[in-house]
Amino acid sequence: MTGTEGPATGAPSPAPRADVVVDARGLLCPAPVIRLARAAREHTPGTVLTVLATDPAAALDVPAWARMRGHTVVPTPETSREPEEVAAVPEDALVVVSVRLG
């Protein structure tokens, strides 16, 4: 298994469905983390928050923040992005990180 496969079938697990999208595109770190922290305070454990960011540092900073706070970082395959979410920025500039609140 590669870590993205389902436990019983070996088939890929479905991408997590974002309960809340935190749009931090165009912002530099630490702003994406600050927006995520604000959203996390407003939601209950089990909520999946997805951060959209154009700052490459968010790919490291957001998961680090989540782990420090006891949340789960959920792998988000590129295919889980919806076209309207990537239309405003070049695809290779978009960082998508999902966090499941612990």
- Mind telling me the catalytic residues? 29
- Nearest CA-CA partner of 66 in 29, 25, 97, 31: 97
What one-letter code names the amino acid at 16?
A: P
- Nearest CA-CA partner of 15 in 50, 57, 45, 39: 50
Q: Which one-letter DSSP state was computed for residue 99?
A: E
Q: Residue 58: which H helix or E strand, with range?
A: helix 58-68
